[in-house]
Structure 1
């Protein structure tokens, strides 16, 4: 087969791009440009070390869709990302924790995070994207917990909230 230049086509020059060391935890979700799950775990680990002095809560907002299509459209994810980014306080940390899940690390106790989670879930429904709603799970950070355990608790709560339906917010509580 003749080379592209032989066919009258121009080819882009080959450049060796410099490669910077890549910190996998900081790699953003390519669709939303939000920090990844690994970056979230790293931030949770950092925050857990100071929870003796100041409280923090993890809120995981999960999208619910009636269309059952997979994956969620990039335009939908972009709209939700923009909404969440505009709705949070300056010291809140927003990340992507799963394909249809957004994590928000908020300063303050879970009692204060519940109304915020309810408001954010309702705002997603109000975006006007047909069939799109949300639910949320909440987990309080505590110094004796690992980052993975806090995330697990948030996801367990989110799973229960999704089962209950749109607009539901469930806070993790230890079983008695």
Structure 2
């Protein structure tokens, strides 16, 4: 499904009949999919309205892959994603990134981890503080925090369903 989405984006945004290259690379417990085309126009996530038929491809990609991105190449650009292929253990960079971010955030706020609390409890409190700060940030920029939370929840649920 992800290859189809990446290929469809080439046809839709670069042009029908455009040549593209698919590269599959096995990296440990991850499979990296790359689609290269000759356009230098970089894709970006957008928030389509409920009535729009298109505009959710990158959201789908982000929900189903453990990581994804774009890069300029000598001949154009590549859009890539990585999906877990390990049978026994699901490699999840998102969880690892979250722990790293929460540890940095906790250190920024407190200097050190609070004593007398478990590590999970401490990180949970850091997550709550970080989410609250992000909601303040979105409000300060004129965004609706409820909409942001709803979109994040939908994104999370799509990823959880895909796993």
TM norm structure 1: 0.27
Relative contact order, higher structure (CA 8 A, sep 6+): 1
TM norm structure 2: 0.28
Point out the structure with max Rg over C-alpha. 1
Please identify which structure carries the higher helix content: 2
